Every structure is written in structure tokens, then in C-alpha cells.
Amino acid sequence: MAQFYKAVTNCAFGVGLLAFVLLWIRELRIPLCGDAIFMHYAAFLVGEYGFVPYAELFELNFPITYVIHLLVGNIFGFGEPALRIVSAGTFLVFSIFVIKQFNRYAPKVGYFTALVFGFVYMSHFNNYFQRDFLVLIPLMIALKLSDQVILGRKCKGPQLIALGVLMGVITMIKPHYFLFFPAIILGNQIIFKKPITLELGFKAFLFLIIGMFLPLAIVTFWMYQLNALMSFFEIVQFYLPSYARYRAELGDGFIINRIHLYGGAYLLVVNFIAIFDDRVDVRRRLQFLSLLTIVGWLIGWLQGDVPYYFLLYHLMFLSVIGMSFSIRPFGQMSKSLRFYANLLMPVLGLICWYKLYFVLSMSPHFPATENKYRGLVLKKSKFIQEYFESQPQQTSVQSYQWSFAINAALLELERPNHTKYVTALQFHHRKTDVYLKGLEQDFITEIRQDLPDFFVIDVKLFGEPIESVLQVLDEFYELDASFYDVEIFKKI
């Protein structure tokens, strides 16, 4: 039985590795056209044209997102090909780290975790280099550090400060994911039953706060130097609550209502393994992963409980870890129990995989026409590029869109947006909100005072542009070219 099990897992690993390599090569070849392009274009405006984040660029991504994309642009150049290579390389390094982290529990757990999550990550083009993937990198490092710090008997200052730095970094990418850190610290302490004194706990807390303060202080000083700090606080105070309400209105209980689908299967897999595992450290680690998954559900709900595939990365990653443990043969138990464990664990793992991945990817929110959609986005981007290549570089362009095609085209053309409003999303939700009405008035005033040479519009997702924009187009512009949902208006 053991030899058969080994042969099957080796065969599965070989097939999985081949599929992983093919998907990774595909990632290198296919142009990005998702949220990563939008974030990179925003960083391009900051790095190349001196737009001040938040003050001269209305954007709701948190500061370290800018820092990451600015680093990529300054080192490798701003542009989609460079970002694509960095995205693929980052994921490869992340996968290697995952292998080293989890292979110590069993020889193939790390490999299968990296491979299966690779399929999840690389199977949807819109998700490459998303913030929800980027936070997994410091999260993995934090798990590694927590093994060294929390499970030890001494208060290790440098490691705790490093853990605090990671807390600060994640908070400044996406604040929701900060909730993982109390779970990591307290969960390890409780589940692994390590004694701690009040003095030791106070020292650990102090080191964590010092570490967390460092990235927050650096980013705050950077924004202060750019005169972006007050604008950032204004967006956080007035726009993010409105955006959160908008997201809540979109939500259909996607995450909470589907806990019984993928969450129940995951917990069943993980805790079934924990019952029969003969290694205490592995058993407790699996229980710890169950705790992190429950926290992950809470994070998913706080993010708006909407059906965006990439928002589930953290849950998928944790579930893949639990599923990967199911490939391990079990040692110290009776032959009959070992047979059922070896048989049931892969079955439960497959159930988890089905509930987690296939139900989501085959749902109406993720139609099988994704390749067709991606092709259309790239065609629209090419159309915009070809149109403006024949126009003088100094002509001004204003985008009015919630479209990756326009972002990708302007990035490739190295053209700035005419105003600080690079998207139109904020004009199309909660129209009675006083702050949002103020944004609309500010946009129209800026446009009327300095008319751009061109308007590029792609907002069919919302229906039509808002009335004030239609009035401007009617008074000063004429339709010069169109392709599918993209309309290019030229100043009369």
C-alpha cells in the first residue's frame, strides 16, 4: 500500500509540475490587463509625471501599493512587459519559499501546496500581482518568524521587530489582513501551549509595536514630503466609507453563504488529518491553520463579501495547504485505520478542491468566456494605442472609464491622464453622497477650465456617463472613433 501510494503521489507530482511550468510560461507570454495594470499606471503617473498620490491622483489604494509599483518601475522600467516579468518572477520565488516552509512537515506537502496554489493563481488572468496576492508574501514570512519566536522560550527582539514590520507592511497594503497577526501570535501561543510570563509578554508586545511603527512612520513621512498626507486622510475619512457601502450593496453573501461549500470541506480535511496524525507538532499546526481560515472568512466578509475571485486568495492558499497535507501516508496506526486514512484523505482533499475552486470558477461570476473577455480587452487596448500613435504626443487625453483597456493603452503610450480622476467609479455609486457630488463638481470644473483634446470613454459597465459629462461632450466634442464599448471623442 505504501509503495502504491508513493507511486501515485509521484505521478501526480510529475503531472502537476508539468502543468505548473506550462501555466507559468503562459503567464510570461500573455499581456496583463487586470487591476495590476491600473495600479502600475497610477505609479507611472507618480514616477514619470510627478503626480502627487491622493492630492493630484484620486486613488484608493494604500501607500505601499504605490511603493511596490514605483520600485518595479524605477528598477525595471514602467511598462506592461516589465511588470509581467516581475509578476511571474515574484510568484516563482514565493512558490520556492512555500516549498521550503512546508516540506519540513512531509516531503511532498510543500511541493503540492506550491503547485496547486499555482493553478489557482495562474488560471485567472485578472489576478496577477494583485494586492491580495502581495499580502501573502509578508504573511508567509510572518508564519516562518512565528515558528522561531512564539514557539521558542526566549523573547527574541530582532525577530519580533521583523514580525512587527511585516504587520505594518500588510496594514499599508490592505488593512483588513492585519487581523491575521493577532491570530498568528495568540493562536500559536494557545495551540502550542507555550508558557509566557507577564514580563515576557510585555517585551514581546513592545518589540512588535516598534517594528510596526517603522514602516508606518517611513510611509507617513514620504507622504508628508509629497504633500499627500492630508489628501490621503480625506479619502480614508470620506470616500472609503462610501465605497465600503457600495461594495456591501454589491454583496450577495458570496463568502458567508458559501462557507458550507469550501470552508466546511477544508475544516473537515484538516481536522480529520489532525485526529490521526502521530506527530504532535503537525497536528497542532493543522489546528492552527483551521484558526487562520476562520479569521480569513472574517477578512473576506469585511472586504465586502463580493464575488471577486482574487479576494479569496488567502482562503484558497490556506485551503490548499490543508488539502496538500492529505497526500501524506500515515504511520503509527493499525493497518485498517491506515488504509481508511490513506483512502479518505485524498477523497476529502478532492472534495475541498472541488468546493473551493471549481464551484467558484464555474459560477456565473466567473464565466467560461474569460478568454474571450481577455481577448476583447487586449483588442480594445490595441485600438486605443493605434489611434493615438497617429496623434501628437503633446495632445491631452482624459479617460472616463472603469476599464483595464484604457489603462493598458495609456501606459503603453506613456501618456498621462489629463486630470487626477483616472477612473469614473466614484461618479457612479451613491450619487446622493455629498462628498461624491463634490468630486463630480470638481471634475467638471477642472474639465471646463482646461478642456482636454480627447475624451476616451468605456463605461458600459455602468450604462452611460453621468449627465454632466454628457453635457460637456455635447458642447465641446464630437465622436471620432469607436470600437466595441470604447468611444473616442475629439475636441471640436
Q: What's the distance, CA 346 to chain centroid?
A: 29
> What are the φ and ψ backbone dihedral angles of 387, each rounded to 5 degrees?
-65, -45
Q: What's the distance, CA 436 to chain centroid?
A: 26
Boundaries of every domain in the chain = 370-491
Residues 6+ apart with CB under 8 A from 160: 149, 204, 207, 208, 211
Residue type at 403 in one-letter notation: S
Residue-level length of the chain: 492
CB atoms within 10 A of CB 423: 21
Residues 6+ apart with CB under 8 A from 89: none
Cβ atoms of 107 and 118 within 8 Å: the answer is: no
CB atoms within 10 A of CB 485: 15
Q: Which three cell numbers stand for residue 339?
A: 488504509
Q: 221 in helix, strand or coil?
A: helix
Residue 330 DSSP one-character state: P
Measured between alpha carbons, how far is 218 from 234 in angstroms, rounded to an integer? 20
Question: Which helix (H) or strand (E) is 446 found in, with range?
Answer: helix 434-449
Question: Which helix (H) or strand (E) is 481 found in, with range?
Answer: strand 477-483
> What are the φ and ψ backbone dihedral angles of 319, each rounded to 5 degrees?
-70, -35
Question: Which helix (H) or strand (E) is 25 found in, with range?
Answer: helix 2-29
Cβ atoms of 88 and 28 within 8 Å: the answer is: yes
Measured between alpha carbons, how far is 488 from 398 in angstroms, rounded to an integer? 10
Cβ atoms of 454 and 396 within 8 Å: the answer is: yes
Residues 6+ apart with CB under 8 A from 4: none
**pLDDT < 50 positions in the chain:** 332-333, 358-369
Tell me the residue ranges of DSSP E strands in 409-473: 454-458
Q: pTM to 2 decimals?
A: 0.86
Best CA proximity match to 134, nearest among 266, 35, 202: 35
